[in-house]
Amino acid sequence: MARQKWNVDFHMANLFEADRNRENGARIGYVMHPHCWLLVDRFLGHRVVKQNLRAFTQAIEMYWRAHRTLWMPDLIHETDEYPCYENAAPWIKQNYPTYAAGTFDRTHMSLSPLIIRDIQTLIAVATQEHEKTLGHAMKLHSIVADIPVEIIMMITDTIYQSRPPCHERILDTRNVLEAFQWKLPDSYWQMRCNPNLVFEVQDIIKAGTQIDWAYFCLGLHELLLQEDWYCNSGLYFRGRILYLIECIRGSLSNTI
């Protein structure tokens, strides 16, 4: 039996200038990182794209030609050439400390935006913490322990809003919750994790996995305090890709 050939020779499409290869009748292809393709599959659907491949590629071309300034930097880039945090989403800026300007002169090397290792590790530890809590549950009998959950939320919000992003506010929150044995609804912590960006939150809920949500949320905020983590982890590029997918989805819906 003849061996099936899976590789096809092609010229990469030129999105911004006259495409001489296309004009000369050469085979044109569109290059996409594997993790970007998997994100497209998750948020658009492989079947939809496959059935409307021509419309999909046209939507990509139309979008990039209209938004050249949004063209992504390389996964490996110098921070002084591309200030990632200046382009960060509001949620990131709310949980990321301001560093001195002189510190932004390093190289960022982004990992996969699809599977972020530190978040996966955090999920595993938060699962263990939930199991520990079940095994060592102890009820504190006091007026402080029985105040309405709305008041607990207000106190927790005040702790967070009283100072800029720092380890101290995370530690203060943990200490207050532990000292008074307060427990907030899981939904409170889930919304603090920006589940649209950190879609692992949605996956955990869908799978019915029991984790310590307070531990996960505060642990995620601790990761964001690390000066280079947001970009190097892949979370920054995930946010950009998801934004672009939504934009392309709009163009695609007008085409099919």
Contact assessment for residue 216 and residue 133, using Cβ atoms and an 8 Å cutoff: no
Reported residue count of the chain is 256
- pLDDT tens figures, 40-82: 999 999 898 988 888 888 888 888 888 777 776 677 777 777 7
How many helices (H) does the chain have, and how many strands (E)? Answer: 13, 4
**What is d(CA 62, CA 251) in angstroms, rounded to the nearest whole number?**
8
- pLDDT tens figures, 128-171: 999 887 766 555 556 666 789 999 999 999 998 888 899 999 99
Q: Please give the backbone phi and psi of residue 225, each rounded to the nearest 5 degrees, phi first.
A: -75, -20
Does the pLDDT value for residue 117 go beyond 70?
yes
- pLDDT tens figures, 49-58: 988 888 888 8
The reported pLDDT for the residue numbered 31 is 83
**What is d(CA 113, CA 92) in angstroms, rounded to the nearest whole number?**
15
Strand partners, 29: 12
What pTM value is reported for the model? 0.85
Q: What is the mean pLDDT of residues 226-236?
A: 91
Rg (alpha carbons) of the chain, rounded to whole number: 23
Does the pLDDT value for residue 116 go beyond 60?
yes
Confidence of residue 1 (pLDDT cuts 50, 70, 90): very low
Confidence of residue 252 (pLDDT cuts 50, 70, 90): confident
Confidence of residue 240 (pLDDT cuts 50, 70, 90): confident
